[in-house]
Amino acid sequence: MTDTTDTTETDGTAEPPPPEPDFTPADIARLAARAGLPVDASRLPVIAATVNHLHGLVAALNDIPFGETAPAFVFDARRDDAS
Partner 1 sequence: MTHTEPYALTLDEAARALADRSLSPVELTASVLDRIAHTEPAITAYATVTAESASAAAREAEREIAAGRRRGPLHGVPMALKDLVDTAGVPTTAGSLVRAGRVPAEDAEVTTRLRAAGAVLVGKTHTHEFAYGTTTPQTRNPWATDRVPGGSSGGSAAAVAAGAATFTLGTDTGGSIRIPAALTGVVGLKPTYGLVSRHGVASLSWSLDHVGPITRTVRDAALVLDTIAGHDPRDEASLDVVRGTYVPRRDGDIAGLRVGVPTNFYFDRVHPEIEGAVRAAVDDLVALGATAVPVEIPMARYVQAAESALMVPEATAYHRETLRTVPELYSDEVRILLEAGEFVPATDYIRAQRARTLMRRAWCDLFHDVDLVAAPTVASPAARVGETSLEWPDGSVESVSDAYVRLSAPANLTGLPALSLPVGFDGHGLPIGMQLIGRPLGEALLLRAGDVYESAHRPTARLAPLRVGTPAGGPPGTAG
Which residues are near partner 1 by CB under 8 A?
A: 1-3, 23, 28, 31-32, 35-39, 43, 46-47, 50-51, 54-55, 57-61, 63-64, 66, 69-75, 79-80, 82-83
Least distance in angstroms from the C-beta of 1 to partner 1 = 5
CB of 11 or CB of 40, closer to partner 1: 40
- What is the chain written as a DSSP string? -----HHHHTTS-SPPPPPPPPPPHHHHHHHHHHHT----GGGHHHHHHHHHHHHHHHGGGGG---TTPPP-----TT-----
Least distance in angstroms from the C-beta of 42 to partner 1 = 12
CB of 8 or CB of 32, closer to partner 1: 32
